Amino acid sequence: PLLPIQILWVNLVTDGLPTLALGVDPVTQDIMKRRPRSPDEPVVTRGRLGLILWQGFVISLCSLTAFCYIYYVEDRWSVGQVFTALGTFDIDRLRAIFTVPTEMREEILAHARSMAFVVLAFSQDFHSYNCRSQTTSLFKLGVFSNRKLIGATSVSIILNMSALYLPFFQGVLKTKPLTAPELAIVLCAASTPFWTMELVKLIRRLTGRNAEQYPQPELAS
């Protein structure tokens, strides 16, 4: 649902600075405990590819959910009415919910597109903290241990807020301002990929899925 200029903004402006900051991420304390990589091992292993696809899926789902909420629900229906229609499989009500009046379509589309745009942009900022390690929790690494990343994501957030509220950027990016409750929804949706990945890391630690990265006790001695 995004415009090409909005996708370009996310790729260049939102992703650019955090990517550079990740390049100077401090070395983790357990780096000398890891097994050396096999010369035959591909750069993108099956497990790593799975994580990439999973995280991409979650980010996409959050952005599309935010878009659909604004486009089909917020301005015309309550969430309760939507769930009631789904639960009772009320065809007439569902048809009414998912049919946007022609005279409202352009305005609602711009509003929904802005919501999806900022959720995608902010989720990339949250996701940059996931990228610091695919096995170790951010809270163990230290939230403030990479100050350059904090600075980069802060600048990115300021730029994305400018894209929503400054007239010049609104004209270029075709965005609409969001209300405070909508920004709260943005924060919840955009942070979902981060918390999801933290849960994945926790499950991997509890199930011993990270064990292959470290030597066995007898080898460590």
pTM here is 0.80
Residue 163 lies in a domain: yes
Residue 195 lies in a domain: yes
| Domain of 111, in residue numbers | 4-15+48-206
Token code pair at residue 185: 């929804």
Number of folded domains in the chain? 1
Q: What's the half-sphere exposure (Cβ side, CA atoms, 13 Å) at 170?
A: 9
Residue 29 lies in a domain: no
Residue 178 lies in a domain: yes
Task: Please tell me the distance from the alpha carbon of residue 52 to that of residue 27, in angstroms, as a whole number.
Answer: 22
CATH number at residue 170: 1.20.1110.10
Query: pLDDT (tens digit, 0 to 9) for every residue of the chain, 221 residues total?
Result: 789 999 999 988 888 888 888 888 877 766 667 677 777 777 777 877 888 898 899 999 999 999 988 877 765 555 556 566 666 666 766 666 556 666 556 888 888 999 999 999 999 999 999 888 878 888 888 888 889 999 999 999 999 999 999 999 999 999 999 999 899 999 999 999 999 999 988 888 888 766 445 444 444 44
Residue 23 lies in a domain: no
Task: Please tell me the distance from the alpha carbon of residue 139 to that of residue 96, in angstroms, as a whole number.
Answer: 46
Q: Which residues of 86-107 are buried (b: 16+ CB within 10 A; e: fewer)?
A: eeeeeeebeeebeebeeeeeee
